[in-house]
Amino acid sequence: MWFKNLYFFAFTRPFEWSEQDLIKHLNEHLFTPCASTEMSHFGWVNALGKHGDSVVHSVNGNHLLCARKEEKILPAPVIKEMLEEKMALLENEHGRSATKKEKEQFKEDIIFELLPRAFSRVTDTHGYINAEHNIIVINSSSRAKAEDFLALLRKVLGTLPVTSVSPEKAPDELMTDWLTENNLGESFELGTEAELHGLGDDGAIVRVKNQDLTSDEMKSHLDAEKFAVKLELVWDDALSCILCDDFAIKRLKFFDVLHEQNEDIDKDDVVARLDADFALMAGEINRFIGDLLHEFNCKTTDYLES
């Protein structure tokens, strides 16, 4: 239940769907496994997995959703080899090369033949909506998968007015300032990991780990006109993460002090534990995002259209 990577987006119009509205719409697009000749399927499953019975799980205004995607795995080298065999056979029998249209048809026939025997890869992507904070937060290390989650939700609801958060001061610029001036807000402190890039497409790349980021060694890199594209932050003695220059949050780690808050819940009551963990996690993430954006002198409500 504890998210590990975050992409978050701001609504440009207030999110006004209720929990029951969400349940109704998501139930119209439930996940079903791929048929033998289908490449992929994408749909909604119970928010708490096998421990839940609803596609939406709501706590304290946070609506948890889970999108499941099944994809058939067809190795490209196998398709290429079979395609070359078909093209060679055509050339031997008819003394000519395959046309572009024939080549495309051969490939479609090969995929159709292989699909029933293909392995499947199933992935779940969780996200939650908080109308009060005007955000949707998605647990994914891939922006493409986060965008797929948004696209499926947009398809379900008919509209989903969201935008990426893009403060006036770019993340790489502010992160570089943090390293140079060590002037983070009181809720934050620097971690021990960073990635710096030099100017230009062929600029040098420096990655450091277990490093004092205020050291003279780091200052020498910054003096050489390198800038931060990834930076480890520690927030409020509650979590650490890697902030990226595209505003992605990677390798999110919640400290034991948070996990211990729910230790008194009976471990055999799985639903109660999941519910409490989600409530605690979402509450902390909401506060973290608010504090992070404060460092950039912006907030998610700034993106609401007037």
Q: Do 248 and 137 have their domain in common? A: no
Q: 1 lies in a domain?
A: no
Domain tally, the chain: 3
**Helix, strand and coil in the chain, % to nearest 5:** 40, 25, 35
pLDDT tens, residue by residue, 58-114 = 999 999 999 999 999 988 888 898 888 888 888 888 888 888 898 889 888 888 888
- Output the pLDDT for position 88: 86
Q: What angle do CA 39, 45, 46 make, to 5 degrees?
A: 165
Q: Are strands 239-244 and 188-197 parallel, antiparallel or unpaired?
A: unpaired
Q: Do 159 and 225 have their domain in common? A: no
215 with 208: CB under 8 angstroms? Answer: no
- Output the pLDDT for position 147: 97
pLDDT tens, residue by residue, 40-57 = 999 999 999 999 999 999
Q: Do 123 and 13 have their domain in common? A: yes
Q: 57 lies in a domain?
A: yes
pLDDT above 90 covers a percentage of the chain that reads 77
pLDDT tens, residue by residue, 181-220 = 989 989 999 999 999 999 888 889 999 999 999 999 999 9
Q: Do 209 and 107 have their domain in common? A: no
Cα dihedral sign, 74-80-85-87:
positive
When pLDDT is cut at 50, 70 and 90, the band that residue 234 belongs to is very high
Q: Do 155 and 256 have their domain in common? A: no
45 with 23: CB under 8 angstroms? Answer: no
Q: List alpha helices for 95-214, DSSP H.
A: 100-114, 143-157, 171-181
pLDDT of 146 > 90? The answer is: yes
Q: Do 127 and 15 have their domain in common? A: yes
Last residue of a domain, one of 164, 183, 198: 164
pLDDT tens, residue by residue, 267-301 = 889 999 999 999 999 999 999 999 999 999 999 99
Q: Do 92 and 189 have their domain in common? A: no
Q: How many CB atoms lie within 10 A of CB 98?
A: 18
Q: Do 234 and 94 have their domain in common? A: no
Q: 107 lies in a domain?
A: yes
Q: What is the mean pLDDT of the chain?
A: 93
Last residue of a domain, one of 164, 192, 226: 164
Q: Do 144 and 252 have their domain in common? A: no
DSSP letter (8 states) at residue 159? -
When pLDDT is cut at 50, 70 and 90, the band that residue 239 belongs to is very high
- Output the pLDDT for position 79: 87
pLDDT of 1 > 80? The answer is: no
Q: Do 154 and 232 have their domain in common? A: no
Q: 248 lies in a domain?
A: yes
DSSP letter (8 states) at residue 33? P
Q: 279 lies in a domain?
A: yes
- Output the pLDDT for position 140: 97
Alpha-carbon span 245 to 176, nearest angstrom: 10
Q: 254 lies in a domain?
A: yes
- Output the pLDDT for position 102: 87
Q: Do 202 and 266 have their domain in common? A: yes
Q: Do 64 and 200 have their domain in common? A: no
Q: To 10 degrees, what angle do helices 171-181 and 216-223 make?
A: 130
Q: Tell me which residue of 70, 56, 66 sits closest to 139, measured CA to CA.
A: 66
Range of the domain at 206: 171-303
pTM for this prediction: 0.89
Alpha-carbon span 147 to 144, nearest angstrom: 5
Q: How many CB atoms lie within 10 A of CB 238?
A: 15
Q: 112 lies in a domain?
A: yes
